[in-house]
C-alpha cells in the first residue's frame, strides 16, 4: 500500500513538473516573439501568425489536460508542436529581412543584394544613368 502511495505521488509530481516545463517554454516562446517585434526582426504580420500558432498549441494542451492528466504520448505531441514552432520563430526572425523601427512592415533588402520579392518603389522609373 505504501509503495502505491509513493508511486502515485511520484507520478503526480512528474506530471506537475512537465506542466510547469510546458508553460515555461510557452512563455519563453511568447517572449521571443515579443522581442522579435520590438527589435524589428519580425513584422506585425509574422508575429500575428506566430501568436496564432502559440494559441493553437495552448488550446491543444488544454484539451489534453481536460482529463486531469497528460499521457506520455500527449507530452511527446506537445513537445513536437513546440519544437516545430520554435524552429518557425527562429526562421522568421532570421530571414534576412530587416525592418525599420517605425514601420515593422517595411521591407529593406539585405546589404549587398537585391530581392525579387521586394515591393516596387513608387512605380516611377528612375532617370537614366549618364
Per-residue pLDDT of 4-50, as tens digits, reads: 666 666 655 666 676 777 789 989 999 999 999 999 999 999 999 99
pLDDT at 69: 86
pLDDT at 64: 93
pLDDT at 128 exceeding the cut of 70: no
pLDDT at 91: 95
> Between 59 and 111, where is the model more confident?
59
- pTM, two decimals, is 0.63
What are the tens digits of pLDDT across the range 37-95?
999 999 999 999 999 999 999 999 999 999 988 899 999 999 999 999 999 999 999 98
Domain locations in the chain?
A: 2-93
Q: Which of 42, 38, 26 is nearest to 86 (CA)?
A: 26
pLDDT at 115 exceeding the cut of 80: no
What are the tens digits of pLDDT across the range 4-13?
666 666 655 6
Output the DSSP codes for 49-102: HHHHHHHHHHHHHHHHHTTS---HHHHHHHHHHHHHHHHHHHHHHTSS-B--SS
Buried b or exposed e, range 7-21, using 16+ CB within 10 angstroms: eeeeeeeebeebeee
- Angle, helix 2-39 to helix 72-93, in steps of 10 degrees: 10
pLDDT at 2: 75
> Between 27 and 116, where is the model more confident?
27
pLDDT at 116: 42
Amino acid at each position: 500500500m505504501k509503495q502505491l502511495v509513493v508511486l502515485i505521488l511520484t507520478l503526480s509530481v512528474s506530471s506537475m513538473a512537465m506542466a510547469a516545463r510546458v508553460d515555461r517554454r510557452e512563455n519563453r516562446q511568447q517572449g521571443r516573439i515579443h522581442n522579435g517585434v520590438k527589435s524589428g526582426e519580425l513584422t506585425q504580420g509574422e508575429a500575428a501568425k506566430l501568436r496564432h500558432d502559440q494559441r493553437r498549441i495552448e488550446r491543444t494542451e488544454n484539451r489534453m489536460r481536460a482529463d486531469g492528466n497528460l499521457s506520455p504520448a500527449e507530452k511527446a505531441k506537445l513537445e513536437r508542436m513546440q519544437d516545430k514552432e520554435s524552429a518557425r520563430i527562429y526562421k522568421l526572425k532570421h530571414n534576412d529581412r530587416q525592418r525599420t523601427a517605425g514601420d515593422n512592415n517595411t521591407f529593406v533588402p539585405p546589404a549587398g543584394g537585391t530581392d525579387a520579392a521586394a515591393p516596387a518603389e513608387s512605380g516611377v522609373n528612375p532617370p537614366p544613368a549618364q
